[in-house]
């Protein structure tokens, strides 16, 4: 199994940038589809971005982050990244990394098998 661990969250002003990292131990990272989700207080966990296994050639994004966020992966480092630019206060949330066996990399939470503990991102106005 693949166990994700997130890092890189913090406090940033609106318009700023952050890069989240997710390092996965165990399993075969390269063959896992990976996703980022976020959950704001009082709201459901929502899809942010995902990346297909191996080359990571497919990268769907939520409409709210498209053009501002970029997901990428480094299989040699067992790590997936989420570069977040032009951050807005509404991006404030706990961000979770998830891994899916069988190369799933879509928007459906229940199809991801392994989840990290989350990292807090706070964007001040």
pLDDT tens column, 29-48: 989 999 999 999 999 999 99
pLDDT at 25: 85
Do the strands 10-13 and 119-124 form a parallel or antiparallel pair, or are they unpaired? parallel
20: CB partners within 8 A, 6+ apart: 6, 7, 8, 9, 36, 81, 82, 84, 95, 97, 119, 121
pLDDT at 73: 97
Residue 117 β-bridge partners: none
pLDDT at 41: 93
Tokens representing residue 103 in the block? 């190369």
pLDDT at 23: 97
Residue 93 has pLDDT above 80, yes or no: yes
The pLDDT tens digits for 8-32 are 999 999 999 999 999 998 778 989 9
């Amino acid at each position: 199994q693949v166990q994700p661990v997130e890092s890189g969250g913090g406090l940033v002003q609106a318009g700023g940038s952050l890069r989240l990292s997710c390092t996965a131990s165990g399993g075969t990272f390269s063959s896992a589809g990976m996703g980022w989700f976020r959950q704001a207080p009082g709201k459901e966990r929502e899809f942010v971005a995902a990346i297909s296994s191996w080359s990571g050639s497919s990268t769907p994004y939520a409409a709210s982050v498209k053009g501002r966020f970029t997901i990428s992966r480094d299989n040699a480092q067992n790590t997936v990244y989420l570069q977040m630019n032009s951050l807005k206060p509404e991006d404030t949330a706990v961000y979770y990394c998830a891994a899916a066996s069988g190369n799933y990399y879509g928007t459906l939470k229940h199809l991801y098998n392994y989840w990290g503990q989350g990292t807090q991102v706070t964007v001040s106005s």
